[in-house]
Amino acid sequence: MRVTAAEIATALNGSVVGDGAVEVTGINSLNEAQPGDISFLANPKYVPALATTKASVVLVAAQMPEASKMVQIVVGSPDFAFAQVMMFYGPKPTQLKPGIHPTAVIGEGVHLGQFVAIGPHAVIGDRVTIGDGSVIHAQVAVCEDAVIGSGCVLFPQVVVREACRLGDRVILHPGVVVGSDGFGYATIDGVHYKNPQIGIVVIEDDVEIGSNTAIDRARIGKTRIGRGTKIDNLVQIAHNVEIGEHCIVVAQAGIAGSTRLGHHVMLGGQCGIIGHIQIGDFAMVTAQSGVGKTVPPKAVMRGSPAQQVDVSRAQDVAVRRLRGTQDQVARLQERLAQLEARLSAIEAQGGKP
């Protein structure tokens, strides 16, 4: 990588503050940067790092006096701009070349598009369809009748179960399981009998799913992940869940069966969502919250059981003040007892209160 600050600014539609001829040879964080590196400032709490960083160029949302010793590139979103810099100028991940590795197992009636890559020991079941340019890495299992769209990337040890469908440009990170059986049993006389899970999972275009996330197939019908949704590692999505477009689901969240999320919903880490409810469009649930009832659109929920964030915070404040409130009540009770004793003494002497 060898590019000038001015060239980067042009690529980002940003403006240069300082010497645009300064060369950039690397990409790094503010704390780790060395001379020649470009970095970024997206969070105000890292402003003090501008005084000590060795970076030559920094991406900022507005000109920063604290960064006067280096070249600044002013952009609308430094975080997004930094991602673009990495994409434009950073090292490119190694991808499989189109073709089928000799150790891969390909079933009967498989339809492969153009420029498909299938890695070592991958298993492609009967009647599978894989679209143009998709990459199937080592030890991936795509089971019978599954459909993989164009431009998808399935990293090692991904499993796509029978008849499940992926749209275009879907990314599944290592260990993702799509279409495992939903958790459903009928209990008769203390014995748990398995309910057949005969539905599928449909993952729409431009979805990315993190490592070791499990998405259960529907009992009947479809479990659906909407277009553009991004799911973190270690997330559990149960049978017949429907997630709308462009949602964010963060690590270790769990969504129980038949719950529906609208579009642009955000679930923080370790959220628990009960089954058979709805989460409205643009709603947000903060980390470690437990949601037990339907959430209206644009609501911000917090706590367990989850409540509107202003109510939850007020309760937290009340709890923190509880010791002082108890002490105040104790003093008032003591004062009341003293007054009652004086009143009783006056009445005993025949006086009036």
Pairing relation of β-strands 266-267 and 290-291? Answer: unpaired
Distances (CA, A) of 104 to 76, 179, 348: 46, 22, 101
Total number of residues shown for the chain: 353
For residue 288, what are its two tokens? Answer: 């470690």
What whole-number distance in Å separates Cα of residue 278 and Cα of residue 293? Answer: 8
Per the CB < 8 A criterion, the answer to whether 130 and 145 are in contact is: no
Q: Exposure string (b/e) for 297-320, b if CB count within 10 Å is 16 or more?
A: eebbbbbeebbebeebeeeeeeee
Point out the residues that are catalytic: 239
Cα-based distances in Å from 63 to 17, 28, 107, 217, 280: 7, 20, 59, 50, 38
